[in-house]
Structure formats: C-alpha cells, structure tokens
Amino acid sequence: MERTLPMAAGAAALLGLVLPLFSGEAGVVSTWGQTGALVFALAVLVMAGENLLGLLVQGKGASDHSWFQGPSGDMIIAVIAHFGAWVLLSALATHSGEAAGGFWALIAAAWLTGWLFVQRLANRTFASKFAQRVVGIVIPLLFGLWILILWQALVTGFGVPKVLLPAPSEIWVRLVGGFPSPLWEDFRQTFLKAVLIGYALGCGSGFVVALLVDRVDFLKRGLLPVGNLVSALPIVGVAPIMVMWFGFDWPSKAAVVIIMTFFPMLVNTVAGLAASDHMQRDLMRTYAASHWQTLVKLRLPQALPFVFNALKINSTLALIGAIVAEFFGTPTVGMGFRISTEVGRMNVDMVWAEIAVAALAGSLFYGLMTLLERVFTFWHPSFRT
C-alpha cells in the first residue's frame, strides 16, 4: 500500500496539471495560473517520482536516503497533503460551483497523500507508550479532518445550496456566533439538566434493582421480561406521556432518559453478576464468605465490564432520548426545540451547529466512560498489552 499510494497520488497530480482547475462564467482557470496549486502538484510529482525511482533501482521501495523516509519524511508528506488541501479550498472559496476536472484530480492527490501519511503513521512503532497513545488519538482526528475537507470541497465545488447541506465553514461560523447564546443555553437545558440527571438516576436505579433481582429469584423471573417489554417502547410514544405527567421543562425529558437507561443497566448488571463461574463461587464458600462478601469481593468486580458496557451504551441513548423528547413540548430552549424550530425557518446551518454540539458532547461523554472503564477494569484481558 505504501508503494501504491504515492504512484496514485502522482497520477492524480499529473491530471491536475493537464485538466482545467475551474471553469465558469469568468473563463477557464488552469493549475498553472494558481501558484499554490502548482507547487502542491509538483511536490506530489516529486514524491511519486522518487518512489518510482526507488522501485526501479532497488525493487523494494524508495532508497534509504530518500527525503520521504523516516519520521522526517512522514512530516514532509503530512505538510504536502495538508498544504494542498488548504490551497485548493482557499482557491475554491472564490469559485463556488465552478470546480473542474483539475480541481477534483488535485483533491484526490491531496487525499491520497494524506492517506499515505496516516498509513505510515499507523505502521510505525514507538518505544514510548505515551507516543503510541498520542498516535492512536491523532489517526482518528486526521480521519475526521479529511472528512470535513472532502465535505467542504464537494459542497462548495458543486455549489450545493445551503438549505440542502451547508459547508463545514458555514457551520463553524454559526457555531462561533452561537456562543454563549443560544447554543450554550440549549446545551445547559438538554445536557447538563435532562441528560446528566436522567442518566444518573436511570443507571443508578437500574444497578440497585439488578442487585435485588440477583438476590430474589422471583424478581428475576418476573421483572426481566417486563423490562424487555418496556425497553422496546418507542420514544415518540413515551415522550408525550412524560410531558403530560411532568410538565414542559427538563424533568419530563429526564424521565424519558431514565426509562431509556434503566433497563440496559439492569440487564447488563444481572448478566455481569452471573459471569463468575461455579469454581470461583465454591472457593468463596470454602472461605465461609457471606453473600455480601462474595458480592463485593468476587461478583461485582467480575460484573464491572458489563456495568461499564451499559454506561457507554446509555451515554449515547440518554442524549438521543432527551433531544427527541424535546420535540414533543419544551420551553423555548433546548437542543431538540432549536432543531425543530430552525428547520422550519430553513436555518439549516444552525441545525447542523446543534448537531455538532450534540455529537461532540456525546463523544466526550462516551470517552469519559471509556476512561473510567480503563481505570476500574485495568485487570481485564481486553486492556492487557
């Protein structure tokens, strides 16, 4: 793959030099008339040429003295890829909807060069565990960055109307302009109140009831089937009822979150408490351990991976439930309220800004649960290196 990507990027860069960059009412613009795009295309051709020369000379890749080998070579490749993306998007800003074949060829060259950088970064081993963890974070961040780059290029290059799909730059402008109002007020209403309070109550009560279910066989036979039935209830059916019961403010949304998070925690905790095998429980009996001693010292530690699995699942379910519940009655604040209102006003960039805030909050919340899982279940085989 590391041999093929430079050649593919070089072929795309060569096409970018031949085909027109932009074509519109003002005429045709070629790559040769754009200094930044020309420099990028030539740099990609140099990279591809040196790779081809290494293949011809050694038959196993670029030479050991190549500019594009080692950590310094990786950084050069990264600079070329991201410089090319920046130059092309900057030029596209004044030629919206006029992108021609040369532009798309150079975008492909930049993407392939960025792919090469990520591929080499993923294959590289580091002596430091900290550096390895940093690389593990950088790779998905670069992947997300290139999704945004391609999104910006496609929307602007084809002149897609903002009402259908706004460009990331337009969403960013709305994000920056939306703080502290109204995005912060919406975030506080939906996430800090409804989601966190409902999440804590739902997961906490589910965990406590799971301990009772594990202790009382009657509850295990009677409550779990009912729990599966309730967990299958649609949000659109439950949310209006909760609004009628608890009012239009955040308590009704928290109630929806409690219903959505209670039974995943219940089912996972019950399964986790049954994870210890008979030999381990027999060993605790030979030590004359009581039920609670066995629970605290054996069964709860064994159940922690299941508990954290429920916590991670619920971290996303809670946010989805709160936002959807706000569609059925809320004060003039909240993520769900803002999304439904701004869609009606055709302010799609504001809708995407709310979606971005929700996605970022949900991802950070999920990441926090994953971090806590590593802290408390470091002994689990899935975390051994």
Q: What average pLDDT does range 65-91 have in this prediction?
A: 85
Give the C-alpha distances (Å, rounded to integers) separating 56 from 42, 51, 60: 21, 9, 8
How many whole angstroms separate alpha carbon 333 and alpha carbon 369? 27
Please give the pLDDT value at position 271: 85
Percent pLDDT > 90 in the chain is 35
Q: Is the pLDDT of residue 302 over 90?
A: no
Longest dimension (CA), the chain: 89
Cα angle value 314/316/321 (rounded, 5°): 85
Q: What is the pLDDT of residues 314-364, one digit of tens each?
A: 999 999 999 998 888 778 888 988 898 888 888 888 899 999 999 999 999
What is the pTM (predicted TM-score) of this model?
0.80
User: Three-state DSSP class for 146?
Assistant: helix
Residue 6 near residue 51 (C-beta atoms within 8 A): yes
Give me the chain's average pLDDT, please.
Answer: 85
Residue partners of 176: CB distance under 8 A and separation at least 6: none
Q: Which tokens sit at 170?
A: 């337009």
Q: pLDDT band for position 282 (50/70/90)? A: low
Radius of gyration in angstroms for the set of CA atoms belonging to the chain, rounded to a whole number: 28
Please give the pLDDT value at position 201: 95
Exposed, middle or buried, 52 (CB in 10 Å: 0-12/13-18/19+)?
A: middle
Q: Residue by residue, what is the 3-state secondary structure of 171-238?
A: HHHHHHHCCCCCHHHHHHHHHHHHHHHHHHHHHHHHHHHHHHHHHCHHHHHHHHHHHHHHHCCCHHHH
Please give the pLDDT value at position 61: 45
Q: Is the pLDDT of residue 199 over 90?
A: yes
